[in-house]
Structure 1
């Protein structure tokens, strides 16, 4: 099976391929096989990319997708309020079906806005049934996803038998697995070490929150280093307030980092660490984090990261930001050989953006326009592993009205059980109050 994306402006994110003002991309059996100014492939299905920008799909390296039903409810919450609301008040009322609907609609929403690869950082593992529901939702969404499993009990290491069971149920090609560490902020270094040993045995990358709400004078990265727990298979999320020498420790160890600029600024974590990470030799990646607090699209995330860093030191370029959202994100997920750029031999994870939309026309500077003015409404076509999953602005084969109705029922039931409104007027009490 061959597909020819024809006549678009190609932004490949691969220096060896470069950018083409007018180019064709040939896909054979789900893999990119050729990129050139013009390709003769008379037997291929043609996707007309006239007035379209053709680029790799975005990569989100950290999102708590199960919370989708409460989108926007926490727009004014602090981190303490978010934690009290989502984990203390709402999560206890989630059934496996609620998890399934949140994960499915959340993953479809990300796909709709051009996120072809997403790490689902799942910390609603209240039972094996909750875990299975989250995994099934990712499998039912036609996207590339990493299910990042996090054990809920912070007092014990991850159970090896359960981890094996989940891993065996996950890997189907497009859906793979990682381990979400509780981290030194929540548990002991001995448990972190045990979890990392188990991750290595199962061949899993790991992800851990650090500096959430600011490091407050502690040196958490140095503590990981002293215990021999800085590995090149680890992604550190947020890292706000981390010292410069600790960032260099992460770089020296080959770790990756994930920045959530909207949530970090909104919840008072501190300035996003994008520029300081670059100065330390790290390539940042991007995270939406959670939709109760922030929008779910990569365009807004890129724009916030750019304007904040340029406001701080003026030292960030649009092309850098686009790399964070694509090729650098794929590398952090261990998928750089498969996705993140338009490169012959990689899987065809491709998005087409409308260049004729009045909000971006004329599309003079592709990278600059995508980062500075892009929005989900531009996403015309989405292709995952060669399969068209969004065409002419609509997801293919998805009954959105039925899913929306089910998600609203889920939201209303959880909110009623928790005794809270969903209009943003409720401010959850925190431990300090």
Structure 2
């Protein structure tokens, strides 16, 4: 099967391909086979990309979709308040069907806003049925997804059996793959970290690690536990020396700028990471607190760092959210740029929308003024999953009803109001 995207402004994110003011992209059996100003393919299905920006889909390498039902409830929360609310108050009342519905709607939201690849950092950690529900939802959401299974907060050792069980059901090369969410030395023992890294290596899994405190990366290096397959998340409090340690080990870094600024983590370390030799990547984290699209995430990271030192350029931000993030997931050979030989994970943005028209510099426009309303068409591995602004084959009214019912049931079981008056109280307050 061949598909031809024709007549669009191509932003490839591949220096060898470059950008094309007017270009065609030929896809065959889900793979990009040619990118040029003109491609002759009379036997291809044609998607007219006139007045569209054609670019690689976004890659979000750290998001908790199980929290989708409580979107916006935590806009005013600090991190300790979020932890009490989501993990201490609401999570115990999640049933498997609640995990399924929130995960599916969260994945569809990401697709709708142009996120073709997403790492779903799961830490509901109730029962195997909860895990299976999350996996089923990611399968039913037609995107490229990574199920990052992590132990829930307060979960006793070990979690090895759960990880092995889920891994046995997920191929290493399909649209749905797996990673391991490390608890790290801030939450558990160094022996446990070593065991989980050994298990990840045995099963061929990359790992993701939430990092808060200075000394964590140094501690891992001292014990020989820094890996080139680990992505450190946030890491606002670590030193420049530790950033260099992470870079020297070949590791990667995920920054969630909106959450970090709002919840009190500190200033996003975008510029410090670059100075240390790391290519930072971008992620959403959680939608109870922030918006779920990569456009606003790029804009926050861009504005903060430009305010600090003026050093970043718009192309940097677009790379962080596409090809660099794909590399952090071990998927840069398959996605992240419009490159012949890679899977066709591509989005088309409306260039004729009045909020960005006229488009003089497409990269600068995407980063400075882009928004989810521009996402007209989305392809994942060549399959069209959104067309003319509408997700394909999705009964959104029914799913919306299920999500509201799920939210209301959980809130009632937890005894919390949904009128904006609830403010969780951490133990220290």
Smaller-chain TM-score bracket: over 0.9
Provide Cα deviations, 1:175-216, integer angstroms capped at 9, x if missing partner.
0000001111111111011100000000000000001xxx3x
Residues in 2 aligned to 1:11 and 1:126: alpha-carbon distance in whole angstroms: 43
Query: Gaps spanning 5+ residues in structure 2: where?
Result: none
* 1:43 and 2:39 are equivalent in the alignment: no
SS at match of 1:170: coil
SS at match of 2:169: helix
- Structure 2 equivalent of residue 85 of structure 1: 85
Provide Cα deviations, 1:114-142, integer angstroms capped at 9, x if missing partner.
00000000000210000000000000000
Query: Which one of 420, 423, 426 corresponds to residue 427 of structure 1?
Result: 423
1:33-432 alignment runs, 5 A limit: 33-152=33-152, 154=154, 156-171=156-171, 173-211=174-212, 215=213, 218-432=214-428
Residues in 1 aligned to 2:320 and 2:159: alpha-carbon distance in whole angstroms: 34
SS at match of 2:88: helix
Residues in 1 aligned to 2:254 and 2:158: alpha-carbon distance in whole angstroms: 23
Residues in 2 aligned to 1:294 and 1:191: alpha-carbon distance in whole angstroms: 32
1:157 Cα deviation after fit: 4.2
Inter-CA distance 189–68: structure 2 relative to 1 (3 Å threshold): same
TM-score, L = length of structure 1: 0.98
Residues in 2 aligned to 1:360 and 1:282: alpha-carbon distance in whole angstroms: 31
1:153 Cα deviation after fit: 6.6
Aligned 8 A contact 1:7 1:49 in 2: yes
1:169 Cα deviation after fit: 1.9
SS at match of 2:347: strand
SS at match of 1:169: coil
Residues in 1 aligned to 2:21 and 2:271: alpha-carbon distance in whole angstroms: 30
SS at match of 1:237: strand
1:158 Cα deviation after fit: 4.0
SS at match of 2:237: coil
Residues in 2 aligned to 1:174 and 1:338: alpha-carbon distance in whole angstroms: 11
1:14-33 alignment runs, 5 A limit: 14-33=14-33
TM-score, L = length of structure 2: 0.98
Aligned 8 A contact 1:135 1:170 in 2: no
Residues in 1 aligned to 2:162 and 2:71: alpha-carbon distance in whole angstroms: 30
Residues in 2 aligned to 1:12 and 1:328: alpha-carbon distance in whole angstroms: 13
Residues in 2 aligned to 1:305 and 1:50: alpha-carbon distance in whole angstroms: 30
SS at match of 1:288: coil
Residues in 2 aligned to 1:295 and 1:249: alpha-carbon distance in whole angstroms: 32
Superposition RMSD in Å: 1.0
Aligned 8 A contact 1:139 1:175 in 2: yes
**How many residues in Structure 1 have an aligned counterpart in Structure 2?**
428
Provide Cα deviations, 1:316-340, integer angstroms capped at 9, x if missing partner.
1100000000000000000000000
Provide Cα deviations, 1:351-387, integer angstroms capped at 9, x if missing partner.
0000000000001111111011000000000000000
Aligned 8 A contact 2:123 2:153 in 1: no
Provide Cα deviations, 1:10-63, integer angstroms capped at 9, x if missing partner.
000000000000000000000000000000100000000000000000000100
1:425 Cα deviation after fit: 2.1
Aligned 8 A contact 2:64 2:285 in 1: yes
1:160 Cα deviation after fit: 3.1
Residues in 2 aligned to 1:423 and 1:106: alpha-carbon distance in whole angstroms: 22
Aligned 8 A contact 1:257 1:282 in 2: yes
Query: Gaps spanning 5+ residues in structure 1: where?
Result: none
Aligned 8 A contact 2:377 2:389 in 1: yes
Provide Cα deviations, 1:80-116, integer angstroms capped at 9, x if missing partner.
0000000000000000000000000000000000000
SS at match of 2:411: helix
